[in-house]
Amino acid sequence: MEEEIGTIVEVKGNQAAVEMEKGGYCNHCAAKTACQPMGETRRRVMVTNTPGAQVGDRVALSYQAKSRLMAASIVFLLPIICLFLGYFLGNSLFQGEGVKVISALVGLAVGFLILKVLNTLMAGRSDLAPQIIRVEQRGRRIPQRTQRKD
């Protein structure tokens, strides 16, 4: 199991948005620039808030290494495989090079559509999602002010 530390930035019912600094596990990944190509230093994930953490709390998240590897493989390889399948299908059916390129692009688009469908299907699977395993540090709470009646 992999662990990362993040901060709760939003709570909606039993779900919490956790923002993490790019680092930790990402520092060892060969594709770290592909996930956030614009130089973003933070990433956000939605998790089930089982410990009842509040906004501002620092929490430890646990990832199954197997699920991360599977997700990365699907996200990076599926569109490429569909691109090549589209090209080879176009190559076997048509003669012009332009048609082959277009069929490759159609294959790539089909690959991204399959990813969208898989994302929707797998979104609810708790075995693939990171989980809050402990609250590292409680955030600073700002007490609500009550107005005095004079």
Of the two residues 127 and 116, the one the predictor is more confident about is 116
pTM more than 0.85: no
Residue 11 lies in a domain: yes
Alpha-carbon gap, residue 133 to 28, rounded angstroms: 22
Q: Which domain holds residue 124?
A: 2-137
The 8-class DSSP code of residue 46 comes to E
Provide CB contacts within 8 A for 127, sequence distance 6+: 64, 67
| 65 within 8 A of 4, measured Cβ to Cβ | no
Confidence band (pLDDT; 50, 70, 90) for 41? low
Work out how many domains the chain is built from and give that number: 1
Cβ-in-10-Å burial (0-12, 13-18, 19+) of 18 comes to: buried
Position 143 in a domain = no
pLDDT at 66: 75
pLDDT of residue 67: 72
Q: How confident is the model at residue 72 (pLDDT cuts 50, 70, 90)?
A: confident
Using pLDDT thresholds of 50, 70 and 90, give the confidence band for residue 110: very high
